[in-house]
Amino acid sequence: QQQVKQSPQSLIVQKGGISIINCAYENTAFDYFPWYQQFPGKGPALLIAIRPDVSEKKEGRFTISFNKSAKQFSLHIMDSQPGDSATYFCAAREGTPLVFGKGTRLSVIA
Partner 1 sequence: GAGVSQSPSNKVTEKGKDVELRCDPISGHTALYWYRQSLGQGLEFLIYFQGNSAPDKSGLPSDRFSAERTGGSVSTLTIQRTQQEDSAVYLCASRLRWDSRSYEQYFGPGTRLTVT
List of residues 6+ apart from 46 with CB closer than 8 A: 34, 35, 36
Q: How far is the CB of 68 from partner 1 (least distance, A)?
A: 18
The yes or no reply on residue 32 touching partner 1 (CB under 8 A) is yes
Stretch near partner 1 under the rule CB under 8 A, chosen from 12-20, 40-48, 64-72, 77-85: 40-48
CB 105 within 8 A of CB 93: no
Give the contact letters, 47-66, x = binds to partner 1 (CB under 8 A), - = no: --x-----------------
Give the contact letters, 87-106, x = binds to partner 1 (CB under 8 A), - = no: --x-x-x--xxxxxxxx---
**Buried/exposed code over 31-67 (b: 16+ C-beta within 10 A; e: otherwise):** eebbbbbbeeeeebeebbebebeeeebeeeebbbbbe
Binding site for partner 1 (CB under 8 A): 4, 6, 32, 34, 36, 41-46, 49, 89, 91, 93, 96-103
